[in-house]
Amino acid sequence: MSAAAETIAPSTQTQEWLASDHNLLIDGERVAAESGDRIEVQDPATEAIVTTVAGAGPEDIDRAVAAARRALKGEWSTMTSYERARVMLRFADEIEAHLPLIAEVEVLENGLPRMISEFTILKFGAEFMRYFAGWATKIHGQTIPVSPMDARNGETLTYTRREPIGVVGAIIPWNAPLAMAILKLAPSLAAGCTMVLKPAELTPLVALLLGELAHKAGVPKGVINVVPGYGHEAGAALAGHPDVDKISFTGSTAVGKDIIRASAGNLKKVTLELGGKSPFVVFPDADLERAIPGAVRGCFFLQGQNCMASTRLFVHEDIYEPMVEGIAAMAGGMQPGPGLDPASMLGPLISEQQRDRVMGYIDAGKQSDAELRCGGEALPGKGFFVRPTVFGQTNMEMKIAREEIFGPVMCIQTFGDSDLDTVADEANNTIYGLSGSVWTKDISVAHRMAAKIDSGQVSINCHAAVDPAIPFGGNKQSGWGREFGQEGLEPYLKTKATTVLF
């Protein structure tokens, strides 16, 4: 880490914004938590406290849900889909216009490199919002021919209406604060729903900032309410709230199961985007010039705090050495540093607890028969930095290869000239099924292997291809339902079938 980088200060605009009150955003107003609680926001690169935000409790969740319920019947419900789309397009413009502010706030609360933050603000902020603004005007039902209802008068008309599902509770994690919030907000707005958004307690700022920008863009009050708070308090209150119609959750598989249990009371509709331990399968004819950087990017993006990360590499034994050597050289050359430093490609982990958790896995790897090829240590001094770590000769008996680490740790294992099913069985030998990739020049092997991988998303000669239009979500314990694309709109809509007997 360069010492100079530690002194890089955010812009005056960001400093002024950080000095504002950061109360809850309920019904278009900034309000303190009823308990008066505040949550400290820490910069994981310097360990400094950046600011504090109001911490919502169950009584604040009640207020936010009531506001969202009122808004569902107010001005928002009378706006046409064209008007909703225009508001969303203005929201996208606001996001783009505030790029430097959002990026600095996101870097300060999350630690990610500024360049990556700016990329996500454009791709998963503005562009994502515009993509879903396009869907707002394309939501419609069907007319359905039906058999006569009775013999006497057979003329009927049956049609379906697609209605907003209602009040949505969105609970999001800390690993990509901007993208996670927009992934929930965009389809919700397109469908005409209202939302109570609970950001992660570690990264509440970008969500509050987005709430402000949404109002500036003309989103009516109460349509988006932002309530930072702890998971077991605010999150649990939202998931269990009797007047919330749907929960959209992104986070760990363990909490996803809690959400299902909490939602049972009023049978909320639930979508879950959970953990992953994604395979990256490299056949002997693969182009290593592309596969090596692909593996490094796939695994170490967001310091490995990324559910799609390519954490389990399956490499054919004929190319194992050049592949591992290339990966270790490239990953070993990635110097962790504060996200505000323009040269930084790898930020700190989110917290001390997460750093210690990840180091626990790295120690377990060191004590196993796996071969440590690079990294394996945390940086001394301030900040929760861990070097990109690569273990070779791993196998699925090892804890590091089985469990989601959510840190910069890659596990590589080999396969021989076995049939595709044997390789696929190993790749699928996990409770997760979120992402995965296949690397080969043989189109037949590529498509056959892609079909065999049990994941919601498989990429060929790239990893974790994400775009607003590509459905994204997990099989097995990686989740329920899909986000992104037309399928991502569906969970925010309900169908009403209406029949007229003439």
Euclidean distance between CA atoms 205 and 217, whole angstroms:
19
Structure tokens given for 25: 């955003």
Tell me the closest approach of the beta carbon of residue 256 to ligand ADP, in angstroms. Answer: 7
Contact 88, 188 (CB under 8 A): no
Question: How far apart are the C-alpha atoms of 41 and 232, rounded to whole Å?
Answer: 18
- Binding mask 320-359 toward ligand ADP (x if CB under 6 A, else -) reads ----------------------------------------
Residue 272 identity (one-letter amino acid)? L
Q: Are 204 and 228 in contact (CB under 8 A)?
A: yes
Residues between 153 and 192 with contacts to ligand ADP, criterion CB under 6 A: 171-174
Task: Return d(Cα 18, Cα 381) in angstroms, integer.
Answer: 25
Q: What distance in Å separates the CA atoms of residue 451 and residue 281, rounded to the nearest whole number?
A: 13
Q: Quote the least distance from Cβ 124 to ligand ADP, whole Å.
A: 17
Active-site annotation holds for 371: no
**Count of residues of this chain found to bind ligand ADP when the rule CB under 6 A is applied:** 17
Task: Yes or no: say if 217 and 91 are a contact pair by the CB < 8 Å rule.
Answer: yes
Q: Which is nearer to ligand ADP, 255 or 288 (CB)?
A: 255
CB of 354 to ligand ADP, least distance (A): 8
The 3 state secondary structure assigned to 53-86 is: EECCCHHHHHHHHHHHHHHHHCHHHHCCHHHHHH
CB 149 within 8 A of CB 501: yes
Q: Which is nearer to ligand ADP, 61 or 136 (CB)?
A: 61
Cα 200 to Cα 251: distance, rounded to the nearest angstrom = 9
Among residue numbers 212 through 271, which ones bind ligand ADP (CB under 6 A)? 231-232, 235-236, 239, 251-252, 255, 258-259
**Of residues 52-81, which lie at the interface with ligand ADP (CB under 6 A)?**
none
Catalytic residue, chosen from 94, 104, 127, 307, is: 307
309/319 with CB nearer ligand ADP: 309
Q: Of residues 104, 109, 118, 273, which has the active-site annotation? A: 273
The contacts of residue 90 (CB under 8 Å, 6+ apart) are 217, 218
Side chain identity at 207, as an amino acid letter? A
For ligand ADP, the closer of residues 263 and 440 by Cβ is 263
DSSP 345: S
Q: Which of 63, 198, 268, 277 binds ligand ADP (CB under 6 A)?
A: 198
d(CA 470, CA 448): 20
CB of 121 to ligand ADP, least distance (A): 20
The CB-of-171 to ligand ADP minimum distance in angstroms stands at: 5
Under the criterion CB under 6 A, does residue 109 sit at the interface with ligand ADP?
Answer: no
Q: Which residues lie closer than 8 Å to 252 by C-beta, 6 or more apart?
A: 173, 274, 275, 404
Residue among 258 and 341 whose Cβ is closer to ligand ADP: 258
| Residue 307 annotated to the active site | yes
* Residue 236 or 493 having the CB closest to ligand ADP: 236
Q: Least distance (Å) from ligand ADP to the CB of residue 425?
A: 28
What are the residue numbers of the active site? 273, 307
In the complex, the residues that contact ligand ADP under the rule CB under 6 A are 171-174, 198, 200-201, 231-232, 235-236, 239, 251-252, 255, 258-259
